[in-house]
Amino acid sequence: MTVPLPPSASIVIIGGGIMGVAAAYYLAESGVEDIVVIERDQLGSGSTCKAAGGLRTQFSDETNIMLGARSLKTFRRFATDFATDLDLVTSGYLFLLDNDADAAAFERNVELQRSLGQSSRMLTVSEAHELSPVISTSGLVAAAFNPEDAHCTPEAAVSGFACAARNRGVTFVQNCEVTDIVTTGEEIHGVTTTKGEIATSHVVCAAGAWSQRIGEMAGVHLPVTPLRRHVAVTEPVDFDAAKLPFTIDFTTSFYFHSECRGLLMGAPEVEDVREFNLHTDPAWLDRLAELIEHRTPALGDVGIGKGWAGLYECTPDHNALIGTAAHLPGFIYATGFSGHGFLQGPAVGEVVRDLCLGRAPFVDVSGLSVERFDREELRVEMNVV
């Protein structure tokens, strides 16, 4: 059913991925009325539906650890709270480390994670092999593991949040592209779209890799650029894939986890493609084959069933942009998650709610404001896959 664009809204959220739908739900739950979510395609059709679905708290940045932990709690309760099965698999995250410098850095990260109540720990190479017996241990020096990390189906999470938000009165307008944001001085007056105009005083930018253009419409510079990443799903394997942890060869960023009776695999391309290009490159399969031979030769004969390409939304320091525009207080942004947006979606939805309502979030996100780049205060996240 086609939903018409309402003439006005208290808050317009641009982007119908995990960030947008979660923020809409939590705002509506808090009693905010007349919320409109505008999505240029279908809900979840951007980066969210192409994500690997990993859920973890293993980060090098305290705020990211807390956002991941908060979201994991929501995902664990999702089937009960939102009546939606996420196909949640709690098999842990295993980072494989092949040099002493990375091992030392991960030891520090694990110490930080444990100080924040997480179950992360360092492992020996033999312990890592016991958890993920398909790997080759050649060249490895250590590993890091959290048994409580997990993975799930991103599309289901979007559906669950969207359904709950609709039940609380949120309007979702799909196949509608934002073309301008009308401002005067420090005030927002409305949003112009391909389906007409909607009056509003508050806009939330949750447009993922497309956020820089949305920011420009409001006179806010959001340094977010796209990075293409490929994913492949294998044919069924002859062992219980669900028992394997989400395994990541940290140096190469080659990773895999269970997907139905097979495996989902991902890795960077040989040369980064930083443009809005979702075409799959056959050369990537050759690269994937090399990485499989290097780290998981036991999987060399497993057939590839399907694959796709999606976009990371990258910032210069691989950390998110979350905050309120300094010169335009009605413009709130949550973008630039650099590959870990889906796993932080529920928690960031809560943060966006609080920023919109002018109250303190559960975690201090001031260090993630876009102004950090003006101050040259990069906040680098090490654990980027």
What is the spatial distance between Cα 17 and Cα 280, in angstroms, rounded to a whole number?
Answer: 22
Kindly tell me the sign of the dihedral angle through the C-alpha atoms of 92, 316, 361, 167.
negative
Query: By three-state DSSP, how is residue 166 classified?
Result: helix
Average of per-residue pLDDT across 347-354 = 98
* Percentage of the chain modeled with pLDDT above 90: 96
Q: Write the pLDDT tens digit of every residue in 129-185.
A: 999 999 999 999 999 999 999 999 999 999 999 999 999 999 999 999 999 999 999
What is the spatial distance between Cα 210 and Cα 224, in angstroms, rounded to a whole number?
Answer: 8
Query: How many CA atoms are closer than 13 Å to the CA of 136, on its beta-carbon side?
Result: 12
What one-character DSSP code corresponds to residue 89?
A: B
Biggest distance spanned by C-alpha atoms of the chain: 63
Predicted confidence at residue 338, as pLDDT, reads 95
Closest by Cα among 357, 135, 314 to 225: 314
* Percentage of the chain modeled with pLDDT above 70: 100
Q: Token pair of 243, please?
A: 């028992």
Predicted confidence at residue 385, as pLDDT, reads 87
Q: Per-residue confidence at 376, pLDDT binned at 50, 70, 90?
A: confident
Predicted confidence at residue 311, as pLDDT, reads 96
What is the spatial distance between Cα 15 and Cα 167, in angstroms, rounded to a whole number?
Answer: 19
CA 384-274-234 angle, to 5 degrees, is 60
Predicted confidence at residue 262, as pLDDT, reads 97
Q: Where are the beta strands (DSSP E) in 80-186?
A: 93-97, 121-123, 142-146, 150-151, 171-173, 178-184
